[in-house]
Amino acid sequence: MHMALTEEQQMIQDMARKFAQTELEPVAAELDHTGGREILLENLKKLAELGFMGLNVKAEYGGTEAGVVAFSLAMTEIARACASTAVTMSVTNMVAEVIQVVGNEAQRQKYIPKICSGEYAAGSFCLSEANAGSDPSAMRTSAVRDGDDWIINGAKQWISSAEYAGVFVVWAVTDKNAPKGKGISCFLVDADNPGVKISKAEDKMGQKASATNEVLFDNCRVPDSAVMGKLNDGFRIAVAELAGGRIGIGSLALGIGSAAMDYAARYTKERQQFNQPLSNFQGLQWMMADHYTELEAARLLLMNAAWKKEQGLPFAKEASMAKLYASEKANTACYSALQLMGGNGYVKEYPLERFARDVRVTSIYEGTSEIQRVIIAREILRELD
């Protein structure tokens, strides 16, 4: 892997950093406090206009065609300012990518340009259920053929951006007699389908401006043309796309952790105790040294996973390693950064308590840390055969 960024990757990183600093950072606290849906949607539209909703999508479908490394870099910069905006951007990019990879040409032409242009504020994945989170193969949502259509019934849980998504990628059991995980298919469902019901947004600990909803499918009728990929091959699609999504969430975690440490480190240079800046104390210096080292290691793991995906190489193990390490080290970095600021870190006048709340879920969604360890171990053992 060549470590230096290309001119295009550097340009995208710089553009994302500038947008984050000028457009997102000034409103991040307001979004956290009020939900700020209008502001969020306005910024999502701006991101789409800059090309950030299809970073790894071909230009013929309206994408930027900048690649996975550029996507990771942009995600990190956006997350430094607003995690709610970043998670929406990550999932929406995933939706565009899975349609590009698995969908037929008609599906690509219908949906991807609307995602990349911002005509759709977001896209959503409907995979998890109340009893099928870490084990999505246990899902109960079903799709039954009815003539030339399919009727989908079931409930999906913890769906990001459901309230303002334009299209849902939905997984449902289409062969209840097949072995577990083998009879699942993937559907594209328009948000305005009368069989789609969106429940009230969850009241979450963090990332409050990003809506997370239960999505109900009540006799949701879709045409046979809504099936994406091969029938009963949906679980394989889900597994493959979750691996790519872990690069996005790992990058998001890195951005939050880096922002927290930068803010706290600057604070220690200004705050004085015992007639000297806090930054003079070796104990605090060592805390900063450890966390900055860990965050740099996370960045390198993410770049390696992103580069492998971009090159068409196997990357599932590397993506899980990167997501596991980045999310856990970002969590500890945020809590240590809050500690460096003492009492001020605990009050909402400063962003540290928001960073600590926003980062917590990164070791849960897109596959918990425990699941990442299972995947990593499985891949290591398989390679040793």
Which residues make Cβ contacts (< 8 Å) with residue 49, sequence separation at least 6?
A: 117, 118
Task: Give 198-202's long-range contacts (Cβ < 8 A, gap of 24+).
Answer: 198/162, 198/163, 201/163, 202/158
Which residues make Cβ contacts (< 8 Å) with residue 144, sequence separation at least 6?
A: 150, 151, 153, 174
Instruction: Report the C-alpha gap between 110 and 90 in whole angstroms.
Output: 21
Structural tokens at position 23: 């457009």
Instruction: Report the C-alpha gap between 334 and 83 in whole angstroms.
Output: 13
Phi-psi region of 65 (alpha: psi -120 to 50; beta: other; left: phi over 0): left
Structural tokens at position 375: 């995947």
Q: What is the DSSP string of 280-340?
A: G-HHHHHHHHHHHHHHHHHHHHHHHHHHHHHTT---HHHHHHHHHHHHHHHHHHHHHHHHH
Distance of CA 249 to the CA centre of its chain: 4
C-alpha pair distances (Å), 23 with each of 5, 27, 38, 352, 375:
25, 7, 14, 19, 38
Annotation says 366 is catalytic: yes
Find where tokens 């193990």 sit.
317
C-alpha pair distances (Å), 56 with each of 74, 82, 251:
12, 21, 15
Catalytic residue among 119, 241, 366, 383: 366
Catalytic residues: 366
